[in-house]
Structure 1
Amino acid sequence: MKYVWRIPDLYRGFAEREARHRSPVYAEISARIAEDEGMLAFLGELPKTKWQPNLFLGAVQYLCGPARDWPWFRARFAERSDDIRAVMLARSTQTNEPARCATLLPALAALPQPLALLEVGASAGLCLLPDRYGYDYGRVRIPGPLVLPCRANAATPLPSRVPDVVWRAGLDLNPLDAASADDRAWLEALIWPGEEERLPRLRAALEIARQERPGIHRGDLRVDLPALAAQAPAGATLVVFHTAVLAYVRDKAERQAFGESVREMGAVWLANENPAAIPGVTLRGEGDFVLARDGGPLAWTDPHGTWVNWL
């Protein structure tokens, strides 16, 4: 057997914990992959960092269009396995959901203004533009060219305006360009079947990013962060933030070192992640994210930004 035992468990876990309530199509396909000898062997020949279900599923959608069901997926795999392998080796999962800004906004608005934003794992920089969007929390609405709806519990300190951002920069191992048709197609392919309502929002945010051109720098958060942070202007509150990034830093000691480096540079550290990936956070939940400031949890959040529940 060419694949290791963890790959079937990875896909079963994805089907049950992540996709079951969000994308029945992906839940079915992922559960079937976990039982398919050919696909498991295919995955086992790839580097460990390329085993992620989102990468495999996204690569098929990128090449073949929206996934329909298991027979469709199995047929597309049989036809284009070499092309799928090439995309998986060249690409990485870089879901850039702008709605995550709605869960970050209460924390950003509470900081001393103006802000200098530095996002690690920035992808195309859509989450670097919280001041360029509008928001609808139900009891509070902030106008903007793209309004992001978000349910917030009564404890959430909702702002009345967007933050004052005077500088922004992103750091990513493989920056994406909002003006690139190929990069835009890749981000669209990472949207799950059953969540097609995210597509118009993504396209609108990409157009805003194409016009704004936030600076995304190629680099590794483990070594290149201090040099980029040093470019932030004096007099602004430097905020280093990330969403769904630290889970890809496999080594716990490296995640801890990253958090310490942010503290040493005197920045505010906002993490919006699976709680197990954030050093110092002891809360545990299944499928939800925790928003934490400097290692202290502030709120439970939806991974795609549709709700925030302040603690």
Structure 2
Amino acid sequence: MNNEPLDYWTFFAAEARRVGAPLYERLSMGVAADEALREFANGAQVGQPPANILFAAVHFLLLRGAKHALRDFYPNLGGTGSGDPFPAFKDFVDEHRGSLTPLIATRVTNTNEVGRSALLAPAFRTLAQEAGEPLHLIELGPSVGLNLLWDRYRVLYSKGGTYFSLGAPDSELSLECELRGDRLPPLGPAPKVASRVGLERNAVDLSDSDARDWLKALIWPDQVARFTKLERALRLHGHSTLNIRNGDALDLLPEALAAAPKDQVVCVYHTMVIYQFSDEMRDALDAILIMASLRRPVWRISLEGTLSGDNPLLLYSYRDGNKEKRTLGLCHPHGTWLEWLA
């Protein structure tokens, strides 16, 4: 993703507009018109999205107390500024270039948006209805693993004034998701999860305040409620012991599949991870799952973005070396709404 063309930034601005992030929409358009800033953002590692990394690096310094007029434009920091934030942003980057450069060069977008669990839950219910349970979960790129615990949150789905409360009723974290369209997803009890494992190239140490602040910095400042959800999810996470293996997911996946108990339904899943994969890596992922399906059925749930701006929720089945794909629904990338299509 390095050396991005100009239309990358206009695309990112459109994405920010679509998900309700006016600050990053305006900043993206400003960077699109500023060659020096675009070049600076291209200092991100190959495969990392320059916009996310640049904006998170700036946000990280602000979260850590950097004093600057730019703070006035960040709602999560109490900012209520009006007017154009881009001049202040450009000045901040110029003033803090020495601190920003190593952040941009070394950090990665291991966002952990727990709201996506509201989207995963009906997908796993669909899977269990068809394949049975208990489930053995393998998440690719789980960050700290908040969405490995998708069945331990309370989810409040709403449709036309009617509400459906599912999941763990006593959970400290309650997620909200608007249901759109004519169809309802399966809203029964969560299937039993027998075991879960995450494969993470950039494991996060939550005892490190720097790592926790970087997780927060990856959240878009306009979306204040996401910060509260993250804090509550991290507290709940602290009471769980998760098996997250550090390393390249494609290197670890064959062994993880082979080790799955034979009496459990195997499901590999990922949310907003594959955009960092090259075409060769995507083909390799498919090949691994196809090969594994020669020994047993394997399922896959995918929640990723597309160039058209859609966020399809997909269910794949791999059996006897064959792959089938189904679109379960379309959704907001942070889980605020779901249109069920299956």
Structure 1 length-normalised TM: 0.89
**What secondary structure is seen at the aligned counterpart in 2 of 1:225?**
helix
CA distance in 2, matches of 1:137, 1:51: 32
Is 1:79 paired with 2:101?
no
User: What does residue 79 of structure 2 align with?
Assistant: none
Give runs of aligned pairs for residues 63-142 of structure 1, distance below 5 A. 63-65=61-63, 68=74, 69-110=85-126, 111=128, 112-138=132-158, 139-142=163-166
8 A Cα contact 1:169 1:216, kept in partner: yes
**What secondary structure is seen at the aligned counterpart in 2 of 1:264?**
helix
Q: C-alpha offsets along residues 227-281 of structure 1, whole Å, 9 cap, x if unaligned?
A: 1223322311111000001111022x431331232243232111111246xxxxx
8 A Cα contact 1:152 1:308, kept in partner: yes
C-alpha change, 1:45 and 1:119, in structure 2 (3 Å) is: closer
Choose 263-272 or 12-21, whichever is displaced more.
Answer: 12-21
CA distance in 2, matches of 1:34, 1:73: 13
Give runs of aligned pairs for residues 1-311 of structure 1, distance below 5 A. 4=3, 6-19=4-17, 21-65=19-63, 68=74, 69-110=85-126, 111=128, 112-138=132-158, 139-142=163-166, 143-145=169-171, 146-153=173-180, 154-251=182-279, 253-265=280-292, 266-275=297-306, 285-286=308-309, 288-294=310-316, 295-311=325-341
CA distance in 1, matches of 2:133, 2:107: 37
CA distance in 1, matches of 2:154, 2:54: 33
CA distance in 1, matches of 2:189, 2:208: 31
8 A Cα contact 2:219 2:226, kept in partner: yes
8 A Cα contact 1:130 1:162, kept in partner: no
Q: C-alpha offsets along residues 192-247 of structure 1, whole Å, 9 cap, x if unaligned?
A: 12101111101111111122131211122222211122332231111100000111
C-alpha change, 1:126 and 1:216, in structure 2 (3 Å) is: same
C-alpha change, 1:230 and 1:208, in structure 2 (3 Å) is: farther
8 A Cα contact 1:96 1:123, kept in partner: yes
**What secondary structure is seen at the aligned counterpart in 2 of 1:49?**
coil
CA distance in 2, matches of 1:249, 1:239: 20
Structure 2 length-normalised TM: 0.81
Aligned residues: 298
Identity among equivalent pairs (%): 31
